Structure formats: structure tokens, C-alpha cells
Amino acid sequence: MVTEGVDNQDFNVDVIYKRIMKVFHDPSQPLEIAESQLRKLCLAVRDVIMSQPVLPELSVPVNICGDIHGQFEDFIEQIKSIGLPPDKSYLFLGDYVDRGKRSLETISLLFALKVKFPEHIFLLRGNHECASINRIYGFYDECKRRYNIKIWKTFTDVFNCMPLAALVENTIFCMHGGLSPDLYSPFDINKYERPMDIPNKGVLCDLLWSDPDPDIVGFGDNDRGVSFTFGANEVSKFLRRNNLSLIVRAHQVVEDGYQFFCKRKMVTLFSAPNYCGEFDNAAALLTVSKDLVCSFHIFKPPKTNVTVKKR
């Protein structure tokens, strides 16, 4: 374990937070944090995450954010628009790294915020917070180029401890991917012990990988080659069985930044606008107010000259 034998006594989150906030206020600057301090940030956030449940239960108001994928400048614009903790509380649905150019800035800011304001920011695990995925799609290479492989392994250890889902006011169930044929209740997730690798099948895999499909009933094969797709009937059944009102998930590019499913009983959020410079999609964050009213913050894609793909 990378957490063993590390002296974290001289770690001061405020020092790192101020340094990261300089980049927050001027995103054109590179992140300049010594490897030793970045590693200690990882160890500190790991301790905070492990002190909280694998299924966090959140109060409102809260802002819910979908995939970010290392699009740091876009992420900063969104947080500046809504506000920083502790004035605002956030639930992030995973996929902080890969694809975009600045995964290290993105995940370091989130980790610093989590350590400094542990009850105002919650970070769920996405399928890209897995070594087998981010080894391929960019984060590993970014860590190796800017630091070394050792720091990537330290981040991986934190990712293996992240919670897999969350409940907001016992009525909104949130995860990165979707439902599982093997998940009866959200509280079943509490039985899983961390740190954990994500297997190729089962509840843990499905929470990070499954997708809704309007054309099927029940569960079906997923074109991703992993996990399942699920029909609207499964959403209705799960909500009714557990006395829930809404499921919020991420994991898929959607043109308007959000997309409803199952007569507004499920919503997909995607928070990386103009994803990879290839999709002409907007980004969205969902705000749940004190009286449980949901509203969306929409961030239009910047004007680009690239040829965009429709999906």
C-alpha cells in the first residue's frame, strides 16, 4: 500500500489549497506542487474519504456535477459561476481524469477542496477512476510526463477508496453509471469494503458502467462490452421499491448537458462542454434546493472551428 510509512505530519492543506487556488483564479498557469506535497494531499484525502461511508447520505441544498474529464478551464468556469465550498456544497459523479489535457489540476483541486471542506464536497468514483482505464486514456501518461509513475499509483490508491453512490435526502439516488440487476436497495452498497478494485461484472461494475436504453425492457447487453443496459421499467421498479423519487447519473455525452429518461425519473448529467473538442455538446450541473426543487445550470460549448461529431 502506498499509504504505509509516509510521514504526513508536515502536510498543511491550506498551503496547497492557496497554491491550487492561484491556478483556479488564473487557469492559464500550470500547477506547480512538489511531488512530495501532492502525494501527501492524496494521503490526506484518502483518510477523509475512508472516514466517510461508501454510500454517503447528503443534505440539500447541493449541486451535482457530471463528467469533467480533465477539462480544467471549463470546470473552473462552472465553479466560479455557482460558487465555492463552504458557501456551496457539491456532489461529483466521477470521471475527473482522462481525455482532457489537465487531469492533474482537476483532481488536485477536488482533493484539496475535499480535505479542506469534507462535509461540503463528495467525490464519487467513475469508471475512469480505475487503473485499467486511466492507464490507457491519458491520466497515466500525464502523471508520468509531469511527475512519475509513482504518483499515478498514489492517485490509484485514492480512487480505490472512493464511494460508489450517494443518497440525497433519502429520495435522490446518485451514481456514475447506473442500475444493476443484482442491486435491490441503495443500502446494499454499504456491505462493500474499501479499498476495492472494480471487477468485470457485478454490482460494483454496474454502478460505474451501465446505461439506460429506451428501447428495451429489463436488462440487456451493453455495446461498451461491459455491464448492462436497462429499460425504463427497471428505473420505475427500483424507485418504487426503495421509495425514491429520482436517479441522477453521468457517464454519457448528452447534447444539452442533461437528458431525462423514464418520464423524468432519471437524468443523465454531463459537465464537459465541447467534449474532447469533437462533440458540440453543452455542459450541465444540477442544483437541488432546500425544498427539493431541481434546476439546471447550462454552459454552452465554446465556439470552435473543429468538425464536430453528433452522438
Which residue numbers are catalytic? Answer: 128
Measure the CA–CA gap between 40 and 11, rounded to whole angstroms. Answer: 6
Give the contacts of 87 (CB within 8 A, at least 6 positions apart): none
Q: Which three cell numbers stand for residue 27?
A: 487557469
Centre a 10 Å sphere on the Cβ of residue 238 and count the other Cβ atoms it contains: 22
* The one-letter amino acid at 139: F
